[in-house]
Structure 1
Amino acid sequence: MGQAFYVTGTGTDIGKTFFSSLFMAKYAKRHEFRYWKPVQTGAPSAGDTEFIRKTTDLPDSYFLKPVYEFSTPASPHYASKQEGIVLDPKHLLNVLTKERKTNTLIEGAGGVFVPLTENYLTIRGIGESNLPVIVIGSTELGTINHTLLTLDALTSRFIPVLGFYLVGQNNPLQADNAETIQRLGGAPCLGITNFPEQKLSPEEFLVFANNHFDTNRNVIDTILNPEDEF
């Protein structure tokens, strides 16, 4: 029996896919984790699944196909309407539930209040799926506010939060940001990883992930033993 977990962020393009790439590079083969983005918007050839596949050079068996895939680079509620495809939250929830006891990293689309349909928010789906969550925040200025808001939205709805992880450019404020969020947000900081200084090949990215991601094993140990956290 495994443990799926949900990766959300404090906003769009905040670093969820970078975090997911690091996690998959370091732990996919070691712990048989798969990557899954159930709802993907934007061109499939430039989607997050394809990005992670190219970044990590992992075989296709480590990736699940999206349940809904839209070409329009927009919120799912808008993209589905533009393309005439009905996004059924009940169907999505049923598929998510089937994967709950497998080792799967599930990446969300945008932040927790992104609408999947006209009246169904992502955060409702997270809560109904009963998946534990890792929140990805930025190392940049403003992350305290954004991350605390996201953590509060989740915890006030009794959604299990494993912790938060900061990614982004190296910032002299990032250590204090992490400490402040942890102290005020009621969730542990699982780590900080800065962007590499240059584009890396898959082999170089694997080395980078092994050396700079989850160096204290906070992420993987928390995921594999979630009952200890909530």
Structure 2
Amino acid sequence: MSQAFFVTGTGTDVGKTFFSSLFMAKYAPKYDFQYWKPIQTGLSEVDDTSFIQKVTNFEDRYFERPIYGFAHASSPHYAAKKESKQIDPKFVLNQINARRHKRVLIEGAGGIFVPWTDSFLGWQGIQQTNLKVVVVGSSELGTINHTLMTLECLLNRYIPVIGFYLVGPKNELIEDNQNTIQRFSGAPCLGHTSFPMQRLNPKEFISYSETFFDVNGSVINSVMDTEGDEFVP
């Protein structure tokens, strides 16, 4: 099975890029993973690819450039319209398919129902690639509803879900949130990581990822999928 995989979120700004930066910081050099966000919006405010490269200080070879990049911070279909352009889902899917046997983390744009075009939604793109998916959700109040809905939508469409990962502050709800989502969805909780309390330089960020991200190896073992051979962090 392919070791390329999707990272999607329960919504915007729930921690997909933070999860991706932690994964890259911990595993990219060790297992030669690349980061790729094929459709990037909001370039006038933030560039996720550049952000991850900055926090890790990794070489260019660990990063694929976006296929489509738009300045406006909105859903891809609207951001493209603002620039009188249109996304071609077939072209995006062909590009993903060409990389499916590489080790690449593919970060989606927003949640799974975010439109790429007026007639094509994010989940359709994920489904047509048949790649494995990690769902990233917030650790805070509301995550049970948002995460269960996202997981149900994916699983009911026979999209292979590795599990879910929570990002954000540790609180009194988190253990119950994790257990409740697991119980109702059947998808495993792959872990939880809080945001750092202060800004970290690349060396410190890599150390942070090694200490606090994927502490049980659940993410990397599921992603590598080596028929019983276990990869450990």
Instruction: Indicate the TM-score class for this superposition, using the shorter chain for normalisation.
Output: over 0.9
> Which consecutive unaligned segments of at least 5 residues does structure 2 have?
229-233
CA contact (8 A) 2:136 2:164 kept: yes
Q: Name the structure 2 match of 1:29.
A: 29
CA RMSD after TM alignment: 1.4
Q: Name the structure 2 match of 1:4.
A: 4
Residue 86 of structure 1: how far off its partner (Å): 1.8
Q: Name the structure 2 match of 1:43.
A: 43
Residue 46 of structure 1: how far off its partner (Å): 2.3
Aligned CA distance change for structure 1 residues 136 and 127 (closer, same or farther; 3 Å): same
Aligned counterparts of 2:196 and 2:41: Cα–Cα separation in 1: 26
Structure 2 counterpart of 1:201, which letter?
N
Q: Name the structure 2 match of 1:130.
A: 130
Residue 175 of structure 1: how far off its partner (Å): 1.2
Structure 2 counterpart of 1:97, which letter?
N
Q: Name the structure 1 match of 2:224.
A: 224
Query: 1:79-101 CA deviation, whole Å, 9 max, x = no partner?
Result: 11110112100101100111111
Give the TM-score, by structure 1 length. Answer: 0.96
Q: Name the structure 1 match of 2:231.
A: none
Aligned counterparts of 2:196 and 2:180: Cα–Cα separation in 1: 25
Query: 1:29-83 CA deviation, whole Å, 9 max, x = no partner?
Result: 0000000000000126721001100011111110001010111111000011110
Q: Name the structure 2 match of 1:114.
A: 114
Residue 171 of structure 1: how far off its partner (Å): 1.5
Residue 169 of structure 1: how far off its partner (Å): 1.4
CA contact (8 A) 1:44 1:69 kept: no
Structure 2 counterpart of 1:41, which letter?
T
Residue 76 of structure 1 pairs with residue 76 of structure 2:
yes
CA contact (8 A) 1:8 1:16 kept: yes
Aligned counterparts of 2:188 and 2:69: Cα–Cα separation in 1: 33
CA contact (8 A) 2:44 2:72 kept: no
Instruction: Tell me the matched-pair count.
Output: 228
Aligned counterparts of 1:219 and 1:11: Cα–Cα separation in 2: 20
> Which consecutive unaligned segments of at least 5 residues does structure 1 have?
none
Query: 1:163-213 CA deviation, whole Å, 9 max, x = no partner?
Result: 000001121111110111011111000001111111111111011000000
Aligned counterparts of 1:217 and 1:171: Cα–Cα separation in 2: 22
Give the TM-score, by structure 2 length. Answer: 0.95
Structure 1 stretch displaced more, 162-171 or 43-52: 43-52
Instruction: For residue 46 of structure 1, give the secondary structure of its aligned residue in structure 2.
Output: coil
